[in-house]
Amino acid sequence: MKKWMFLLTLVTLFILTACSNSDSQSTSTSEEEENPELNIGYVSILANAPGIVADKNGAFNEKLKAETYGFNSGPELYQALASGDLDVAYAGIPALVNWSSRGLPVKVVAKVSEGKVGVVVNDDSGISSVDELKGKVLAGVKSGSGVDIITRGLILPDAGLTPEDVAIQEFDQPNIEPAVDSGQAQAGVLNEPFLTYSLLRGKKQIAEENDPALVVVVSEEALKNKPEAIKAFMEVHQSTIDDLNGDQEKANTVLVDVFNIGEVGDLSAEQVIAKASEKMTYEWQFDNDDFDYYQKLADSAFDLGYVDKEVDVKKLMDLSVVDGVTKSE
């Protein structure tokens, strides 16, 4: 009898323990589903305003357990993707072409923005066109970044120059205008908001090109293992873009602090950001013109020797992740 009572006690304890573990796992799974974890990165430029604003306003953490990281350049961000430190990134197509050619397992799932890149000089420089920069110093950004590829592959060739015709020196974006001011460089390549800021303070623009084509990039591991988190992220991404397009003034307050923008003349810092934002278009859907431009950038990367084989950008995309991500023509 004692033996049977002992066995019964063991069975009861086993059942209770199993139920307890099951409840604990169920609770843990439920919490993970409600607040999935995701590591998100972006380069700190105005083109990435959807990611920056969602981060600073706490929108990501309303749906996710999000860790966010800001970077100075695309190559730095892609290094973090390659090391597995990021699941999702607001990133440029040109650097993506470079890293994907090395086997980086990521996919483009949505669009972020489009805008402008400009070449500026001092107003009294006597320089009125890019072809006059031959033999001069041009302040650019990190080699292999989107702006760098646009500079070397589009802006200079359009002026009849090669990258060897000018001395391109690398600077962080906020330091390019001071480099031109001090004479370290005779011209600088800027994207927003730094381009508008410099023009309002007296610089002269001598060339313009489309921006580095910002997109949402997701690691293949995250696509496979964190589908709910990616879905939650995209809900935030889409709603933030709607907010940016509907109420820019609210976002301007956040962006002024991020970029350390000051007033210029009679314009407040918020008005400066507003002027820069006029050159930006924020949207999460692609159209055929986007794909054509991305391919043009990929071809430029190949021509410049950044990649050793031609890249079909459509093969870098997974357009099935987000419903309606391609506009119907």
Q: Where are the domains of the chain?
A: 35-114+213-262+280-316, 116-210
CB 207 within 8 A of CB 126: no
Amino acid 28 reads S
Asked if the model's pLDDT at residue 102 lies above 90, the reply is no
Question: Could you tell me the fold of the domain covering 35-114+213-262+280-316?
Answer: D-Maltodextrin-Binding Protein; domain 2 (3.40.190)
CB 261 within 8 A of CB 236: no
- Token pair listed for 178: 């001071």
Nearest partner of 136 among 98, 101, 186, 92, judged by Cα = 186
**How high is the pLDDT of residue 26?**
40
pLDDT in tens, 16-31: 444 444 444 443 344 4
Helix-helix angle 227-246:248-259, to 10 degrees? 110
Helix (H, G, I), strand (E, B) or coil at 166: coil
**How high is the pLDDT of residue 248?**
80
* Band of residue 329 on the pLDDT scale cut at 50, 70, 90: low
As a whole number of angstroms, the distance between CA 203 and CA 201 comes to 6
**How high is the pLDDT of residue 213?**
79
Mean pLDDT of 157-171: 96
Question: Could you tell me the fold of the domain covering 116-210?
Answer: D-Maltodextrin-Binding Protein; domain 2 (3.40.190)
pLDDT in tens, 180-190: 999 999 999 99
DSSP state of 224: H
Q: What is the pTM of this model?
A: 0.81
Question: Which of the two residues, 325 and 21, has the higher pLDDT score?
Answer: 325
Assess whether the region 35-114+213-262+280-316 and the region 116-210 belong to the same CATH fold: yes
Question: Which of the two residues, 8 and 148, has the higher pLDDT score?
Answer: 148
Check whether the bond before 157 is cis (ω within 30° of 0): no
